[in-house]
């Protein structure tokens, strides 16, 4: 019942760039308390609104089409995906409002199962569902508006990356390829199960460990893939980056679907061509390039931190079972927002001091 699943349905990157350029800063300048606001137009994962010297609200919304054939699983994934925006800002979510578009021909029991999954996931994150809004829609859509709190000194912003910072990823990529493979009826049950397991894993632990380690530059990977969201962080920070593709964790079945079945989400292909002039792919195979552009629903956190904090964070992640890995480095070599793919492993070659 959908053209694309989950965050693969995002507005293409080039269209979003043009849209935000036409809006400029005017949404944030309306009202008398604009100085209290870090607006969503800054492209961080949530807007921040200062209530007092030690309390800041983090507000975001995220919704999309189904990513599972099971309604309860979709509800859980949608909830985990929506609260991730608050964790990516260094915050703790506490309140959510539902957003539902539902085809009238589908049974009420399916909606009930969807909501049971969402409420269950929210409860595990200590978030209260307080209501919402629903409409008739030929395409099923579900998501949440989420509110949380962030201590000002703990806020993680995309503009805080600096040359010499290490780049860290906390989940494997490839869920978008598997969702597309499921839609094409070529993804095996094990591939779907592994992808759903990744999407069902909350970023709560990773976000709190990053915050407690003093990391202050972060985003989460969603519809524009690793490369698209890294590019956004680099533009905000006026930096560049080197990425070691061999270090980037990928779902094995996703790579096989791409290489052997030719499964590539349309949004991954669009992101790849939109960033063609900003990424030096070296001799990386085309299937791996698409995997690095693959749209993720409930993807991992993308973090940037100095070397000492990176080591501390990775150590704490190992203790808590969070599969975080270092995949590259922030640099200042070239126009802001550009990425160089380097063969080999992290830790080889020249490094910028940091």
Annotated catalytic, 258? no
Element spanning 101, H or E = strand 92-102
Contacts of 69 (CB under 8 A, 6+ apart): 182
At residue 274, what are phi and psi to the nearest 5 degrees? -65, -30
User: What region, left, alpha or beta, does residue 114 occupy, with left being phi > 0 and alpha being psi -120 to 50 degrees?
Assistant: alpha
**Active-site pick, 7, 145, 258, 293:** 7
Contact 280, 199 (CB under 8 A): no
Neighbours of 21 (CB within 10 A): 8
R_g (Cα) of the chain, nearest Å: 19
Neighbours of 32 (CB within 10 A): 6
The span from the CA of 115 to the CA of 119, in Å, is 6
End-to-end CA separation in angstroms for the chain: 49
Residues forming the active site? 7
């Amino acid at each position: 019942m959908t053209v694309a699943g989950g965050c693969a349905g995002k507005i293409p990157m080039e269209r979003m760039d043009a849209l935000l350029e036409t809006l400029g800063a005017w949404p944030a300048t309306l009202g008398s308390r604009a100085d209290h606001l870090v607006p969503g137009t800054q492209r961080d994962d949530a807007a921040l609104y200062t209530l007092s010297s030690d309390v800041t609200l983090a507000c975001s919304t995220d919704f999309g089409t189904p990513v599972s054939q099971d309604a309860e699983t979709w509800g859980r994934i949608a909830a985990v995906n929506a609260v991730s925006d608050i964790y990516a800002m260094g915050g703790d979510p506490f309140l959510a409002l539902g957003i539902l578009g539902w085809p009238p021909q589908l049974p009420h029991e399916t909606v009930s199962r969807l909501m049971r999954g969402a409420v269950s996931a929210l409860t595990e994150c200590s978030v209260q569902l307080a209501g919402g809004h629903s409409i008739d829609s030929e395409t099923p859509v579900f998501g949440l508006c989420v509110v949380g709190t962030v201590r000002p000194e703990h806020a993680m912003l995309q503009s805080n990356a600096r040359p010499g910072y290490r780049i860290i990823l906390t989940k494997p990529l490839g869920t978008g390829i598997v969702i597309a493979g499921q839609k094409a009826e070529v993804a095996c049950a094990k591939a779907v199960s592994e992808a759903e397991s990744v999407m069902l894993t909350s970023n709560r632990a990773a976000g709190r460990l990053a915050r407690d380690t003093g990391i202050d530059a972060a985003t989460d990977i969603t519809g524009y893939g690793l490369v698209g969201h890294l590019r956004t962080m680099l533009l905000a920070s006026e930096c560049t980056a080197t990425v070691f593709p061999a270090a980037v964790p990928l779902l094995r079945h996703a790579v096989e679907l791409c290489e052997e079945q030719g499964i590539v989400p349309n949004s991954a292909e669009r992101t790849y061509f939109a960033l063609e002039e900003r990424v030096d792919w070296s001799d990386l195979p085309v299937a791996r390039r698409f995997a690095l552009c693959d749209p993720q629903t409930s993807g991992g956190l993308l973090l940037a931190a100095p070397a000492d904090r990176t080591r501390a964070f990775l150590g704490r992640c190992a203790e808590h079972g969070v599969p975080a890995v270092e995949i590259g480095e922030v640099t200042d070599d070239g126009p802001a927002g550009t990425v160089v793919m380097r063969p080999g492993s992290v830790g080889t070659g020249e490094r910028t001091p940091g």
